[in-house]
Every structure is written in C-alpha cells, then in structure tokens.
Amino acid sequence: MANYFTNLCAPPRISRLKGREVYDARGQLSIEAEVLCIVCNKEKSMSSAAVSGHFGPKKALLDWKAKSQERADDVMTAAQWINEPLNNMLKGQNPCYQSEVDHILSNFFMARHLEDKDICNKQKEESRSPCEPVVVLSSPLNAQTKDKKSVDKGKKSITAEKQFSPAEPPEPVLPGCSAIGSVSLAVAKTGAKIQGIPLYKYIAALKNRKAPKQFHIPVSLVTLLSCGKASLGKLSLLEEVILIPQAGQRVKQIITMTLELQKEMMRIMNTSTKAGASQAMLCDSGVLAVTYERPEQPLDLITEACANFGLTLGTEIHLAVNCAAPELMDYSKGKYEVATGVLKSPDELLDMYQTLISRYPAVVALIDPFRREDIDQWEKLNNVLGDSCSLLSDITYKSKAPSLPGVRGHILKHIHETTVSDLIRITSNLQGSVLMGTTCSEPCSDDSLSDIAVGLGLDYVKLGGLSGAERMTKYNRLISIEEELAQQGILASNEKHPPPLFTEKPQEQSATAD
C-alpha cells in the first residue's frame, strides 16, 4: 500500500543547492555541492560531490600566498555561484534529466566566461596610451649590423626555430569553475539514488541509452615510485613509474601483489650501498619519491625486485613511465632538463627514449614524453617505438585540442567545469584507450571516480600509489563494484576483452600463449 501511494507522488525535484567550503586531501580549500530535493512532500538531502579545482600543470610555487589567495577566491566564487544563480536556475528541475541539467550548467559557465573575456579585453584597451604610437626605429648602422648577423647566423637561426617551438598559451581557468563539475556530479549521484541503482550503472545508462548487460572493471594502473622534479635526487624525467598488471587479475590481487613488490623494493633500497638510493620521501601521488641520478637506476631496482619476488617482468607485469616532459622544459635554453644540469634537445630526448626502451622492453607505455608543441618528435618517436611501446597524452587541460600523431591513449581527469555529459562525450569521441586519472587535490572521502570509470566503460584507471585516504577510498570502491558485479553474474572477463593499450604484437603473443 505504501509503495502504491509512493508511486502516485510527484517525481522528486531539486529544491535547493548548497555550496560550502571543505578541505581536500592536501588540506587546501575546495568546494562541495549538495543537492536537496522534495521527496514525498518533504525536503531531503540527496547527495553531495566535490570536484578538484586543480590549477593547471604543476609549477614552482614562487609566491605561495598568492596561490593560496587565488584558491580562496576560486572557492568563494564557486560557493556564490552554487548558492545563488545556480540554485535559482536548477530549482524545480528533475535530477534524473542529466543532459538538461548539464546544458544549463554549461550555458551558465559560458556566459561567465564571455563576461570575464570582455572585462579582460577592456582592461587591456584602457591600459594602452593613445599618445604613444608603436614605432620601430633603426639607424643605417643598426640595419647593417643586423644584416651582417643575419648573413652569418641565418641558417643557425632557421634551424633553431624549427627545433624549438614556443609554448602554447595555457587555457584560462575561470575562478569558480569547479562549481560546475561539482554540481553536475552531485546531480548525477542524486539521479542514481532516486532510481535506486549504483552510480556506475546510472552513468552507463546515460552513455549507452540503456544499462549494458555486462560490465568490466578497468585495469588498475598503480604507481610504484617517483623520480620527478619533486624528488630529492637529480633525476627529474621519471615523474611516475607505473605498474601495468596482467589482464584478468582482480583488484585485490593487483593491490596485494603491488604491496609485496614495494616491500621488496624498500628492502633492496635499505640494504643497497649504491649512491643515491638511500633517501626517499612520500610524494603527492602516494608513492615514494626516490633519489636517483639516471633513469636506468629506478628501472633496475624494479627489475631486481621482480626477480626476487618471482614475477616475470614483461610477461606477468609491464611498466608505464609518466615522463611529464612539459614540466621539464627550460624555455630560456630551449631544452628539457631531464636531471639537474643535464639538458636535452627534443631530438636528443627522443634518442634517450629509444635507448631506454630497447634496454627495458617491459616499458610498454610513455606518458607525455614531449610537450604538445614538439609534434615532429611525437611522430618520430611513434615511428621508432610504435611496435613495442604506446604513447599516451594527458589531455586534462587540452581536451579540445587535436590529437597528437602516434598517440594511442589519453589520460583524463574530472576537474573544473567538466560535467558528467562532457565526460561521456569526450570518452565517446576519443580514439584509442582512455585512462581516468586523479589529481593531487582529490576529496578524501569521495569515491565517485571509480564509479565514473566503470560506468564509462574505460579500459584503465590510474589512481596513484597505495597510500592516502583519497586514493585507497577509490581502490576500495573498485573492489566493492567488482564483487557486486561478480555476485550478480554480469562481470565481463578482461581476458575476453583485452584493452588496446598494448600494441598488436604483444597482444598476438599473449593470445598465442592462451
């Protein structure tokens, strides 16, 4: 009887949005959006969500007070957006109509973006003085000197220009933009709760127009160690060395294996007498940042640990390397600083990768080996390594940019104004593998990323190292989803649906072995 009258009630509608300041995993201010609905004539809090407001690629914090103030302004603006205009615009909307809600959110953001652009343009025009025309004067002597220099160094200048392209301007981050992504995710969680299904099934139904008959769990890529710019040693090139487990393993098996491997690595480092292997610290990605001078050293460490642990590197597990090369460019010299005092031109870095992959064939993926501007080197590297190693690109801040030549996979993070509908569109349009990744400023208790990765049907998920509440919460959610799907008999086997990160040659070998 109760269910009968419940079905006669009006469908739940959004009554209010609440935006409030919270602290993320690094103790920094962030925004959280809460959705309240009228359910059976009573207002009820349905769900809340927080999306990272990560401000672009990592840079040196030259002025931490300015950065802190910038984040505080962003959170304050986001809270104001949620509590006032977005609250009024979404009041009375059906939270199960995700595309309509996201359309409203995107239109609102675009209007704010255009307003901000107009203000910036007006400020630039006002800053120009009409009494100071731009005139370039040159004396005959200067002209002769320039002509002589151009004759002497013309060829060198042309060559240098071809080898080094200036950096693309970064996409602007509008203060308050994290409100859009947070509200969109909170509404999606509300819709799933109203329909009485998990978030991953709800997102899968949004993407495929109906719930699929089977689900597969994305393969967990676990970060083993870091030798990036934040580490104590000279080496900066290996921002992350990532373990790629064999397809078909359960999430629990992957975590157990990785933890045992890390213990063996720590034992080797503690007993090693080699220089540069004695110091380590925990970095933002939840792994040890180790002091090394050459890229071969951390790879040798992993090779030795796998041998001692009885794992066949290159068969049972493979490796991926996040080079994070855009962060290593010294623009004053036009070269990558791969280690302290060690500079490499784009072509020299390409040769370095070729040597490294030939020595360590277990490395089957390179993430961001160059800047986006070094298109020729991306293409050359793919031609050289294409049969043995896949190139991946982080498109978090360049989701609308054209694909780079030779790229077989993309890493995407849910940040800023990205809505759930945007994630569905981006992952549907991209060719190759799509990896869902985390930022260093994730909310501690939100495990929605795992549901999103499963719901979107992604091949891989990159959650970082095996430490920190913000990461282990997501790993635990993956385990829970996997167990739930297995109990329901709708868990697809990864062996039957091998993800396309590996090239055709390793896949053919594994198929023959099977």
Q: Does residue 227 fall inside a structural domain?
A: yes
For residues 221 and 73, membership in a common domain is answered with: no
Residues 75 and 220 in one domain: no
**Residues 106, 210: one domain?**
no
Contact 87, 104 (CB under 8 A): no
Does residue 168 lie in a domain region? no
Tell me, what CATH number does 73's domain have?
Answer: 3.30.390
Which CATH number characterizes residue 377's domain? 3.20.20.120
Residue 471 lies in domain: 198-488
Strand pairing of 317-322 and 363-367? parallel
Sign of the Cα pseudo-torsion (353, 354, 360, 362, in order): positive
pLDDT beyond 60 at 497: no
Reported pTM: 0.84
pLDDT class of 494 with cuts at 50, 70, 90: low
The DSSP secondary-structure symbol of 166 reads P
Contact 276, 291 (CB under 8 A): yes
Q: Could you tell me the CA-to-CA distances from 176 to 83, 249, 379, 417 in Å, in that order?
A: 12, 41, 38, 9
User: Residue 165: is its pLDDT beyond 60?
Assistant: yes
pLDDT at 125: 80
Q: Is residue 3 part of a domain?
A: yes
| Averaged pLDDT of the chain | 82
Rounded to an integer, the average pLDDT of 194-201 is: 96
Q: Backbone phi, then psi, for 193, in 5-degree steps?
A: -65, -40
pLDDT digits over 237-267, tens only?
999 999 999 878 899 999 999 999 999 998 8
Give all strands of the β-sheet with 335-339 in edge-to-edge order. 329-330, 335-339, 342-344
pLDDT confidence of residue 304: 94
- Residue that finishes a domain, picked among 53, 79, 112: 112
- In a shared domain, residues 222 and 333: yes
Given pLDDT bands bounded at 50, 70 and 90, which one contains residue 281? low
Alpha helices in 196-220 (DSSP H): 199-208
Alpha-carbon distance of 329 to 337, in angstroms, equals 6
d(CA 82, CA 183): 8
Residues 238, 341: one domain? Answer: yes
Q: In total, how many domains does the chain have?
A: 2
Q: Are 326 and 227 in contact (CB under 8 A)?
A: no
Determine the Cα angle at 127 with ends 121 and 128, to 5°. 100
Report yes or no on 513 lying in a domain. Answer: no
**Residue 321 belongs to a domain:** yes
State the pLDDT at residue 282.
Answer: 66
- Region 283-299: what's the mean pLDDT? 83
Look at residue 333 and tell me whether its pLDDT is greater than 60: yes
Last residue of a domain, one of 53, 83, 112: 112
93 and 203 inside one domain: no
Domain boundary among the residues 44, 78, 112 is at 112
251 within some domain: yes
What 86-92 contacts at long range (C-beta under 8 Å, 24+ apart), as own/partner pairs, is 86/17, 86/179, 86/183, 87/16, 87/17, 90/14, 90/17, 90/183, 90/187, 91/14, 91/15, 91/16, 92/13, 92/14
Does residue 278 carry a pLDDT above 60?
Answer: no
Report pLDDT digits (tens) over 357-396: 999 999 999 999 999 999 999 999 999 987 789 999 988 8
Residues 104 and 230 in one domain: no
Q: Which residues contact 201 (CB under 8 A, 6 or more apart)?
A: 192, 211, 215, 455
Residue 238 included in any domain = yes
For the cut 50, the answer to whether the pLDDT of residue 343 exceeds it is yes
496 domain-assigned: no
220 plus 352 within the same structural domain: yes
Decide if pLDDT at 136 tops 70. no
Residues 67-119: tens digit of each pLDDT? 778 888 889 999 999 999 999 999 999 999 999 999 999 999 999 999 988 88
